[in-house]
Amino acid sequence: MPVSGDTYKLIGRAAAGAVSVVTAFDRAGSAIVGLTVSSFVTLSFEPPLVMFAIQHDANSYPSIVSSKAFAVSVLSTHQEAIARRFASKEPDKAADLQIDVGALLKVPLIAGSLAQIECLTSQIFIGGDHAIVVGLVEAARTTSGEPLVYYAGKYGSFAALPST
């Protein structure tokens, strides 16, 4: 018998994860859509692939899964308000935000984030009530800082690792 939904939610809350925002342009190509994810991970080094999960009932689901390209912005600790905004059902999540446009794929990126990643949509897998989106990394840039993390249903931080 599978684990109960309540137990499964507790398991998910026990895993700390970096907070990222996935963005793309809507189907008309005019508005920015996006969502906050803690499921973003690097999948492969060769070729460079990343992945994240998106719930089927997310407002941005139709645009994200039909987009040929998307962006991932890994947030820093000072960007918690942005994480909360993109986690909401607010219709225009990018209003009044500073947005960078990707140099290669022209995707919308959150300015000031620790990492900005431009991806071509590679594959989409359906898994229960989510889709798993795999992206081929075409361009990326990083900066130093402390990442925003999500743990036990709360945003938080930990000391930045020393640079190498």
pTM of the model: 0.90
pLDDT in tens, 19-46: 999 999 998 888 999 999 988 999 999 9
Which residue has tokens 């947005």? Answer: 99
Which residues fall within 8 angstroms of residue 140, CB to CB, at 6 or more apart?
A: 115, 116, 117, 118
How far does Cα 110 stand from its chain's mean position? 11
Instruction: List, in order of start, the domains of the chain with CATH numbers.
Output: 17-153 (2.30.110.10)
Judge whether residue 117 has pLDDT over 90: yes
Spell out a b/e string for 71-109, using b for 16 or more CB atoms within 10 Å of the CB, else e: bbbbbbbebbebbebbbeeeeebbeebeebebeebebbb
pLDDT in tens, 67-112: 999 999 999 999 999 999 999 998 899 999 999 999 999 999 999 9
Residue 68, classified by CB atoms within 10 Å of its CB into exposed (0-12), middle (13-18) or buried (19+), is: exposed
